[in-house]
Chains A and B, each alone.
Chain A
């Protein structure tokens, strides 16, 4: 089994290195095929590992020592247990699909080979992240996915906005990583190890305050990666990257790493329900907050990004309330339908020549049948309609909130579910229904390559049927995660809740369709709604990016300039030069003594004599005074 583990882990790396070999040469299809093939190998190995783990075994290997000094011992250790194997499956499935899809999507791009190099490297980092058996290894993957995300967001490096977004993402993540690093330090100095098993065995013996801090710092790390408020702005900007990247990294895998961390560290968070409640509250807030921004946005990818953010909020609610397996389940289901949604959006983008404004599309249903079906179904799944994946995972989270008596959270999530349905179908309606507004812009859309649609189909299937695996999954993961059951007390309440939610969601969908399916003009910013305060607030993302820009970025640059020009050059360096100058000037001035005029010299000699005699006198008198 170790062999499969290594294959699953290193196949993407090999693919990445293979692609990197050709990164400077022009596009060659074999690169994409080899990389996808290796990814598929990784997927197969993961599947074999899954079947092995399902029979109740765990694979745990220690490849080699990484860092060892003093009492610190960090190996490259990997563990395939019930949790990580689920993540491995999600990662390999989605990334295999995205790889194959990218062969078509990146067809005309000059950086085709480079793209695959980055993409496979990302998968490798993600695998390291989920498979590591210690926090340091997790951190390697954590930073690795950050790096790859940087490279992929800024993939089209000639675009200013893309590179800016890449740097923003990296730096925001770094802020959170500091928190994570501190959490790791705390773990090490309090438990003496970073191995999961040791840490979790020791964690119960620590004082509660230490555990609380550990939980908080680790969660700060998770906040960055999973783009939780207030570190959320990078995710929407990250949509500058190629769409497959958005699908893989910024929807399905990387952004869920934060959730994975909380799930993984469940023994810690179990001890600190207060932090858990905070996580859940923040999650609920972000769910609503992100959904509200998605309502009015006019950028297709950003809408989906906000929806991702919103769904991440759901996951954190579940994780924060101790329903780790529910969080992980939603993570899995969400990965499938959100990746599908993004890839569909990619098709639309291709067809529309990189036009992102859904108001400029419309009526694409006729030319893009396959994509239309897929995106609609993905949206249905996202909205949580029975019997799609979203229903099983999302409704479960609502139930968790209800059963745990956090009614505020429950209400917020319910409201968000309605909003989600609304904006998802607003998007679908604007893109695929109504008048063909794109004709105004002289665009001739076409359907994507067939193999791309075929590649997407596994995701479609999974988005539809993932709910069926719920019990299997549950049986699998409860051996690692706390087995918490959430049953609404009375049958009656349960049905009312479920049906009520469904009706609410369907109502939102119908409203969205009604409002947008016959849209016939491109808004130009003059309508009353667009000028209302609420609209402006939402479309400017609550002015938060602007706020960051004004309060952090600009003052930091300004402060840096001051530090350099005013402090470093004018104070620190000037002081040094000043001291040197004093000495120099002293020399320059006293140089007159040495003017070669002997009579002046003689005078100075006499001055010296007087001084010496005075000193002699003073010292002898002083000496005598002491002696006496």
Chain B
């Protein structure tokens, strides 16, 4: 069973979702929680069985799909993808457990389970086509969630979300096909296996074009400035669960793909584009933080803060050293936990008041102390206070990028200031002061169901902030092999200089050998 655990992880939720159609409405919720829980336990088992000392792919599965074109059903996890998979199953569980939606609950849970399949699939896929299929499939349940359970502008938002990301990924598909074609030209046989592609050393000008093609697909997904505008709409209109999954997992697909594809495939191009991308990332960080500060809707604040944090992740990724990339992978998890929790928290208040405007609130700390406390903890995590999960990631990202550029990091570091500004002012508007709105006077504090979803997140946010080692270590080992691979493949002298050479200071096996 452990040999096929990835297949199991991918298709178990889908099968369960199929079965879900025959489950009665009343027991659907319990059924959904049970399935998500089993899936989560399976993913924990995956972690348990994972050997953190091996940097290469583990639990690999392969099955030919279209042998003539080298398309295989190829799965595997390493330290980079392992935790994002666990995060996906974790958030699906939390999301289903804390569902407060009453309209067509059954459909919603089935959709979520399908979504879980696509998410796990994306992160476990090692074949570009399989990856692409899951990548695109993930749009469908999300489209449905926003379009069916969303706010008044849901159709606009969902169509925008779909078309925007779809356009980007089509360009990415072209890139993938070209990549396979180059592989064919170089070796005489077709392959879409990412690990096979890793071995390919492309001429620099090819790398630039391919990098650009992949970049567009990933950047829209992340979303990077100036492709970010679909996100506020999607978040603004999506139901709570949609926002949670979107922020926690779906956005991570973009940054994950950068680490999985762009970096090891195109080391020279990565170095070439490092500074332009870093500048975009910095614009993202500061500009969206400012936009977040101007928002009147608490959910939009969280949405824009997501973009801002994604900027830090991108910056860390393009630090191109172990510290930065490990930090960015870690920050993906951290941001997933924190922004997911923040969206859940916004959902809590939305369920009670059916408004998200901050001006409607004020003085909530008196009425809902527990809610204010949890919100405060998560806000501080989002601001990046040490000993919370976000700090580890942000610190490493900035530390890593500092090696590449002093001035840019200094500018990017403004993140910790502007982040504090919008978050604290939003918190002040919502929780501090006296209760002025009569409707708020008798609000109920967090109930048990909501606690069930939020407490684990608080625990994770603090636990991994204090003791990130169990997660950081496997990430570090896998990232080291990626960086080493990049260094070995790099051709231009600048790339050789920018990407550190790690050989000799550790015994990790490079990806090629592992494969």
Q: Which residues of B contact A557 (CB under 8 A)?
A: 293-294
Cβ of A170 under 8 Å from chain B: yes
Asked if residues A560 and B294 are in contact (CB atoms below 8 Å), the reply is yes
* B347 located at the interface, meaning its Cβ lies under 8 Å from any Cβ of chain A in the complex: no
Interface residues of A in 117-147 (CB under 8 A from B): 136, 139-140, 143-144, 147
A177 at the interface (CB under 8 A from B): yes
Binds B, one of A157-165, A370-378, A391-399, A421-429: A157-165
Interface members, chain B 443-472 (any A CB < 8 Å): 466-469, 472
Chain A residues near B432 (CB-CB < 8 A):
154, 157-158, 160, 163
Q: Are A143 and B386 in touch, CB under 8 angstroms?
A: yes
- Give the size of the chain B interface in residues (CB under 8 angstroms): 64
CB of A561 within 8 A of CB of B421, answer: no
Does any Cβ of A come within 8 Å of B276's Cβ?
A: no
The stretch that binds B, out of A38-46, A62-70, A408-416, is: A62-70
Contacts of A563 in B (CB 8 A): 287, 290-291, 294
Asked whether, in the complex, the Cβ of A178 is within 8 Å of the Cβ of B409, the reply is no
B326 in contact (CB, < 8 A): yes
- Residues from 566 to 620 in A contacting B, C-beta threshold 8 Å: 567-568, 572-573, 575-576, 580
Known contacts A160-B433, A178-B414, A561-B294: A189-B396 contact under CB 8 Å:
no
**Chain B residues with Cβ under 8 A from A23's Cβ?**
369, 373
Interchain nearest-CB distance for B106 vs A (Å): 34
Q: Are B323 and A65 in contact (CB under 8 A)?
A: no
The listed residue (A143, A184, A561, A568) touching B229 by CB distance below 8 A is A568
Q: Is the CB of A72 within 8 A of B399?
A: yes
Q: Is the CB of A181 within 8 A of B380?
A: no
A68 touches B413 (CB 8 A): no
Please encode chain A, from 15 to 39, with 1 for each CB lying within 8 Å of some chain B CB and 0 for all others.
0000000011000000000000000
A580 touches B163 (CB 8 A): yes
Min CB distance, A74 to chain B, in Å?
9
Does B417 sit at the interface, judged by CB under 8 A? yes
A557-B293, A563-B294, A568-B229 known; A576-B417 Cβ under 8 A: no
Report if B121 contacts A (CB, 8 A).
no
Pick the residue among B226, B424, B469 that contacts A170 (CB under 8 A).
B424
Secondary structure call for the B interface:
helix
Report the Cα distance A185→B327, complex, angstroms.
14
The answer to whether residues A167 and B409 also contact, given A157-B432, A564-B291 and a CB cut-off of 8 A, is no
User: In the complex, A559→B396 CA distance in Å?
Assistant: 30
Given contacts A69-B396, A573-B229, contact A178 B421 (CB under 8 A): no
Q: Is A565 an interface residue (CB 8 A)?
A: yes
Expressed in whole angstroms, the Cα–Cα distance for A24 and B409 within the complex equals: 41
- Chain B nearest CB from A392 CB (Å) reads 36
Q: Are B386 and A72 in contact (CB under 8 A)?
A: no
B514 interface hit (Cβ, 8 Å): no
Asked if B472 contacts A182 (CB within 8 A), the reply is no
Question: B262 an interface residue at 8 Å Cβ cutoff?
Answer: no
**Interface SS, A side:** helix
A144 to B387, CA, bound (A): 9
Tell me how many residue pairs across A and B have CB atoms closer than 8 Å: 143
Chain A residue at minimum C-beta to C-beta distance from B483: A70
Query: How far is A150 from B402 in the complex, measured between Cα atoms in Å?
Result: 29
Minimum CB–CB distance for B167 against chain A, Å: 9
List chain B residues, Cβ under 8 A from A182.
402, 406, 409-410, 413
Residues of A within 8 Å of B398, CB to CB, are 181, 185
- Interface range on chain A: under 10, 10 to 19, 20 to 34, or 35 or more? 35 or more
Instruction: Please name all residues of chain A whose beta carbon is closer than 8 Å to the beta carbon of B416 when the two chains form the complex.
Output: 174, 177-178, 181
Pick out which of these stretches binds chain A: B33-41, B86-94, B184-192, B473-481: B473-481
Is the CB of A507 closer than 8 A to any CB of chain B?
Answer: no
Contacts of B25 in A (CB 8 A): none
Known contacts A69-B472, A170-B424; is A178 also within 8 Å of B413 by CB? yes
- CB pair B226–A175 under 8 Å, yes or no, is no
Bound-state Cα–Cα, A148 to B495, Å? 44
What 8 A-B pairs come out closest when comparing CB atoms?
A: A70-B322, A560-B294, A573-B229, A185-B402, A564-B294, A140-B386, A163-B432, A69-B326
Give residues in B with beta carbon < 8 Å to A. Answer: 160, 163-164, 225-230, 287, 290-291, 293-295, 321-323, 326-327, 363, 365-366, 369-370, 373, 380, 385-387, 391-392, 395-396, 398-399, 402-403, 406, 409-410, 413-414, 416-417, 420-421, 424-425, 428, 431-434, 466-469, 472-473, 475-476, 479-480
Subset of 29 A-B contacts with CB under 8 Å: A24-B369, A64-B469, A66-B466, A66-B467, A66-B469, A67-B395, A68-B469, A68-B473, A69-B475, A70-B322, A71-B322, A72-B323, A136-B386, A143-B391, A147-B385, A150-B424, A158-B366, A158-B433, A171-B420, A171-B421, A182-B402, A185-B402, A185-B409, A189-B403, A560-B290, A568-B291, A572-B226, A572-B228, A580-B163
